[in-house]
Amino acid sequence: MWNNRVTRLLNVEYPLIQGGMAWVADAILAAAVSNAGGLGIVAAANMPPELLDLQLKKVKELTDKPFGVNIMLLSSTADDAIELAYQHKVPVVTTGAGTPGKVIERLKPIGTTVIPVVASVALAKRAQKQGADAVVAEGTEAGGHVGELTTMVLVPQIADSVDIPVLAAGGIADGRSLVAAFALGAEGVQIGTRLACCSESNIHESYKQSIVLAKDRSTVVTGRYTGHPVRCIRNKLTSELERMERDNVPVEEFEKLGSGKLRAAVVDGNVIWGSIMAGQCAALVKAVQPASDIIQEMFNEADAVINELSSMFRDV
């Protein structure tokens, strides 16, 4: 049923990859997603190389299925992550927050599948030209570092502009949004927020509860004036960051307040002054469930939605 270009490219059961969430996407989460038939991802983020090396060894112990590594290109450790992906012959690499040229140059020769996450048509076209195997089109509904365009308008424009498969991200958390992504021209999805909130995720219980309790307007984007806007669940930290942005305080001061705050939320459960990165679809996440239940539920729901849609205008 779900066999398409993406499942064949990734050698997985479902056309679903996990978001490369810093501090969240570790070997345990990645293995849980891969064992459930999706593509689990270990986020290199700012991890020291020794730690990433251990995580890559661990994910190989926990699953014999394909998995990936996300390389955040803004990170000072991005070059080390590329080398480790090379040494470990990681099957898939996703990239974020920059142009993936050097990742493709180093890893394509050993057959790594490279999938840049992009937030514009221009970057998608450039990624295809550079040799990317697919792209993730990430709308501004997503959590963390975001672009300006919504998934609804970004995905079809990118699908029209490239020949490689497009995976949709941002706002996808149930069977309806999954089907919508396919309707927009995506051939797969990247899921962040709902998987961050799964039983196998290492994030603090208070962080998970912030996601489960989130409502439609619970998230906010701060830091547009720094050039690196970030979507988080509203709390004292985001209020203070909004105030600083309004008062046009020097960017260094703004960034100083934000620094270390994702760790504070994920590890310490500081949901007042920590950075609770999450997408707008947090409001659609109703419970903490095992990764395999989430994935199966989403695809079962999608199946039902497709059936309902195909009969919708025939049942008079």
Residues in contact with ligand TUI by CB under 6 A are: 22, 72, 74, 96-99, 117-119, 123, 138, 144-147, 228, 230
Instruction: Name the minimum Å distance from CB 308 to ligand TUI.
Output: 32
Burial status of residue 50 (CB atoms within 10 A of its CB: 0-12, 13-18, 19 or more): exposed
Closer of 91 and 116 to ligand TUI (Cβ): 116
Burial 166-181 (b: 16+ CB within 10 A, else e): bbbbbbbbbbbbbbbb
Of the two residues 265 and 305, which places its CB atom closer to ligand TUI in the complex? 265
Question: Is the Cβ of residue 68 or residue 144 nearer to ligand TUI in the bound state?
Answer: 144
Minimum distance, C-beta of residue 144 to ligand TUI, in the bound complex (Å): 2
* Residue nearer to ligand TUI on the CB measure, 72 or 237: 72
DSSP 172-238: --SHHHHHHHHHTT-SEEEE-HHHHTSTT--S-HHHHHHHHH--TT-EEEE-GGGT--EEEE-SHHH
Q: Is the backbone of residue 144 left (phi > 0), alpha (psi -120 to 50) or beta? A: left
Residue with Cβ nearer ligand TUI (60 or 228): 228
Closest CA to 194 of 179, 177, 180, 217: 177
Q: How many of the other CB atoms lie within 10 Å of CB of 277?
A: 27
| Residue 50, C-beta contacts closer than 8 angstroms, at least 6 positions apart | none
d(CA 174, CA 59): 26
Determine the residue with CB nearest ligand TUI.
Answer: 144
Pick between residue 6 and residue 262 the one whose CB is nearest to ligand TUI. Answer: 262
Query: At its nearest, how many Å lie between ligand TUI and the CB of residue 190?
Result: 9
- Least spacing, CB of residue 7 vs ligand TUI, in Å: 22
Nearest approach, Cβ of 261 to ligand TUI (angstroms)?
A: 9
- Residue 251: CB minimum distance to ligand TUI, A: 12
